[in-house]
Every structure is written in C-alpha cells, then in structure tokens.
Chains A and B, each alone.
Chain A
Amino acid sequence: MSKEKLIEKVLMLLAFSAIGSLLLITVFIFLEGLPIILQTGVGNFIFGAHWAPTKGHFGILAMILSSIYVTLGAMIFGVPLALACAIILAEFAPRRLTRILKPTIELLAGIPSVVYGFLGVVLLVPLIRTHLGGPGLSLLAASLILGIMILPTVISISIDAINAVPNIYREGSIALGATQWQTVRKLVLPAARSGIITAVILGMGRAIGETMAVIMVAGNALKIPTSILDPVRTLTANIALELGYASGAHREALFATGIVLFIIIMILNTTATLITGRK
C-alpha cells in the first residue's frame, strides 16, 4: 500500500471517529433520559408546567416556552441588525472598510459567552431594573444578549449568500435604470433568500443552545413568563443549573430535557440543510 493510501485511511478513520462520538452521545442521552419520559408520559413531560424534580414533578413546558421566547426575542433584536450589517458590508461599503469590519465582527464569535453574561449582569440588568422595572434578570435581558451573540453567525453567512449572487444580475438591473438600493431589495436579496434563511436558522440554533450567558442574565425562574420583564429558565439553563447536585430520577429528567433540546436543534439544522440543499 502506498503511503498516500495509508494516510487517506488514517484520515478517514479520524473522520469517522467524529461521527462515532456523535453517535455515542446520542445513544447515551437517549438511554439516560428516555426511561423517565416514558414513566412520566410524553404528554405530562412536555406539557406539564410543574418542575420539582426532587418531589417527583417533571414538567418542562415552562422551559420549552422560555427557550422559544428567548430565541424569538434574540431573532427580533439580532436579525434586522445582522441583515442590515450584511447588506452594507456586501453591497455598499468600500472594499477597504469591509476588509476591516468583517474580521472584527467575526471576532465577536470568539468572545467567551461568560463574558457576554457578565457584561449583561453588570450593565444591562441594572438598566432594565431601574428603567423598566422587575428584577432586571429577565426574558428581555436574555434576548438582548443573545441577539448580540448571534450577530457574527448571521452576518457572515448572509454576506457569503449575498456575494454568491452573480454580478451579471446586478449589472443587468443597473443597466435597466434601477438604483443600487432597488437592485439590492428587489433582486439581490430575493436571489440570496435561501442562504439568508439558513443564516437565520443557524443563528436560532446558536441562540437556543447558548447556556452560560443565559443562566447569568435570565433569572432562571420556573414560572411561565407573562411579560418580557419576567425571569425565565431555558432548557439549557435547566440542565446546567441542576446537573451538579442531581441524582436518580432528577438526573434522568435532566437528560430528558437534553433529549427535547437535541430534537429541537436537530429540526432546526435539518431545516437549514434542506433549504441550502434546494438551492
């Protein structure tokens, strides 16, 4: 066997070991979490609003809703900002500026989430508490922080999608007398739509999976929120908060929370892949 073939085999093995560990993780969390879901009943587990695991109540509805609200909130704050940023950088800004700004924005992704959480606690939470009321640690705080955290993901994928639109389209449109903004709005954005939707969905995945920053600013209360100033607990926060002390059924219930999260993220990622694939 030639050296090249051997190296190819080794690399292949390494690639499969990555898939193997994914498989192991999947099997493990399902083995650990499924018994308690079946014991509680799928309906009671997902639609029960009472979570008191050491007293035998395993309902995670409040956390599912909180995760959804926080993610939607992050989308509302983050996506318009990210899209505006991507359009400016890809279509309007001079090359030189783009070359400085894009890496800077991507640097945002490298900031550890605990730093975002800390800034949230120190700056954002007191602002919300004094000016809007409530304890400050809230759905609103979590949404704002996550809105910023998803920016790099959404911006860089959107820029790639916009850049992938062939220049001939733009030239044709300008030649027909359209302004640059009309070209972007009526032509470039629709042509880049699937890429932009993918960017948004991947941003959603990032938001729903974020843990540390959310634990720090969301307040982690178990009630179903009725206002954006209420404290909330997301699925990820629930696992990270309680795993340290959990044993027995409580531990299983946390793995079961992981299963629900896993399924939600799988659905999001599959949707993103399908949309990109269709293009």
Chain B
Amino acid sequence: MTSSRRYYSLLVVWFVIVATVWLAPACGKRDRHSQTLTVAGSTSVQPFAEKLAEIYMRYHPELLINVQGGGSSAGIMAVQQRAAAIGASSRELYPGEKHLHETVIAWDGIVIIVNPALGLDNLSLKELRQIFAGQITDWAALGLPPHGIHVITREEGSGTRTAFEELVMKKKEITQGALVQDSNGAVREIVATDPHAIGYISYGLVNKQVKALAVDGVKPSCANIKKGDYTLTRRFLFLTLEKPEGVAKDFNEFVLGPGGQGILEKEGLIGVQ
C-alpha cells in the first residue's frame, strides 16, 4: 500500500516537472520586447550577426533581434518576401536581385594555409586550382621534395567552401580524393600537424601553427584585403528592401559604427571603415 502510494507521488512529481519544463518558456517571454527585428541568411555571417545582436540587445532591451541561418539565397528571398527585415549574404547579388539595398558590413579573406615545414611561400591561382582539382598531386611539380599532396577541404554547402569554389575553382570541381573537415579549426589542426597538407580557412582564424600562402605574389594581410590586392576575399552584406528605416536603420548604424566594427574585427573579419 505504502509503496504504491509512493509510486503515485513519484508519477505526479514527474508530470509536474515535465509540465513546468515545457510550459515555462512559453509564459515568461510574452510582451517583454515591444519590437522585433529578423536577420536571416548566410551561415557564414550568422555567428557574427548573433554576436552583434547579442551586444546590441544588451543596450536596447525593448528590441528582440532574431538571427536565422538558412544560407545567403534563403536570406535574400526572405527579404524580398518581407519575411525578414534584414537579409545577410556572403555572396554578391545576382542581376535579378540588384534592386535590394546593400550595406557592406565587413570583408572576409580566404587564406590558403600549409604547414610551416613544407617550405612553400607562394602559389599562383592556377596552381592552386590544379592542386584542388586533383591535377597536381605531388609537391615535386612545384619544385619541392617529392611527396603526395594531402588536399583538405570543407564540407559541401559550407560558406567558406562555396566562396573558395567561386574565387578559385571557377567551374572546376574539388577532387573527390580531398579530405573533408567540418570546421575551420579542424582544417587548421590537420595542416598544423601534417607537413604535406594544404587547406583554406577564414582570415581571422590563421595562427602561428600554420603558414598563410601568398597567392600570385600577394600576401593575405589586412591592408592587402582592404586595398583589394588580395583577391580571395568576399563581402559580407546586409540587405534590405529599401533604404533601412526605424530599428533596422539603428541596427545598421550600430554595425557600421565603431562599436559594431570593433566586434567584427575582434572576431576576425576586416572592417569596412
């Protein structure tokens, strides 16, 4: 008898806990924010946009900024259909999309990295393309001691890979023999430990463990990216249907101002100011 009562009370407690956990978030939030702003688009921009939103909301508690991924194209479409106030894109607009108002929030460089022990400093864009397409498979073809090249790429669909394909590969496909890693960090880790590997990562994530190659003689540096000399770069865009107004305008101004640009540079992008 006592034991069955104990079961009952346990069951009741369990239901109460489950109900609380499920329902709690639904209650509290209501009406705390009087305004919302949706930023949707590129997964490359997403982490930066989240950071910006987080800090902006700290000073504007009445505003809820909703940052969503989905990819650049999805973001552009969301703006056109008014599903999002701001679209984030890491690719340039296509001719049919030019009516949108674009704000460049930052530059990102794609850097080719090798192991410091390899002894390579520079590659031409053509050589780079041939290596990643699997046409050059041995370092001997570039005048280095003969050894197979270990090509490392990102997974299909990643923003960095998409940009790399557009900037370097043009119409060629990346070789099927390439090792695939799912983050900038993992690519860097392999290149740092494998003396025969070559990979590409975002500018902000290059560190001392790996060597950043010059492409066609131009080193990837902040100055070269800003001047436009280093060509493996992409622009991060905020898109609005018309010239931004209201909260969208305020947020845009924050992003372009010293506060927002400071955050972006600290996170490894190159500011536009």
Contacts and interface: CB of A to CB of B under 8 A. Distances in A.
Interface string A180-220: 00000000000000000000000000000000000100011
A221 B156 contact: no
A55 interface: yes
Contacts of A129: 194
B71 interface: yes
Given A54-B156, A126-B193, A7 B4 contact: yes
Contact of A241 (B155, B178, B190): B155
B182 interface: yes
Interface stretch (A15-23, A158-166, A171-179, A244-252): A244-252
B100 interface: no
Contacts of A54: 156-157
Nearest to B147: A133
A233 B234 CA distance: 30
A106 interface: no
Interface in B118-165: 148, 150, 155-159
A52 interface: yes
Given A54-B157, A242-B155, A137 B190 contact: yes
Contacts of B71: 245, 247
Interface in B166-189: 173, 176-182, 189
A10 interface: yes
Contact of A219 (B8, B158, B173, B180): B180
A83 B114 CA distance: 44
Contacts of B177: 221-223, 230-231
A48 interface: no
Contacts of B159: 245
Contacts of B43: 244-245
B193 A223 contact: no
B11 interface: yes
B59 interface: no
Contacts of B158: 245
A135 B177 CA distance: 11
A242 B180 CA distance: 10
Interface in A106-132: 121, 125-126, 129
B176 A219 contact: no
A52 B173 contact: yes
B74 interface: yes
Contacts of B157: 53-54, 242, 244-247, 250
B49 interface: no
B40 interface: no
A96 interface: no
Contacts of B181: 220
B7 interface: yes
Given A126-B193, A137-B190, A221 B155 contact: no
A279 interface: no
A113 to B, nearest CB: 15
A72 to B, nearest CB: 22
A136 interface: yes
Nearest to B44: A245
A52 B156 contact: yes
Contact of B180 (A7, A220, A245): A220
B195 to A, nearest CB: 9
A245 B159 CA distance: 8
A242 B156 contact: yes
B70 interface: yes
A17 to B, nearest CB: 13
A7 B7 contact: yes
A55 B179 contact: no
Given A220-B181, A247-B71, A250-B157, A136 B173 contact: no
Given A53-B157, A215-B182, A244-B43, 9 more contacts: A135-B190, A137-B190, A220-B181, A221-B177, A221-B179, A245-B43, A245-B158, A245-B159, A246-B157
Interface of B: 4, 7-8, 11, 43, 70-71, 74, 148, 150, 155-159, 173, 176-182, 189-190, 193-194, 196-197
Interface of A: 3-4, 7, 10, 50-55, 62, 121, 125-126, 129, 134-137, 215, 219-223, 230-231, 233, 240-242, 244-247, 250
What are the 7 closest A-B residue pairs judged by CB atoms, nearest first?
A245-B157, A220-B180, A135-B150, A222-B176, A219-B179, A223-B176, A241-B155
5 contacts: A55-B173, A135-B190, A219-B179, A233-B180, A241-B180
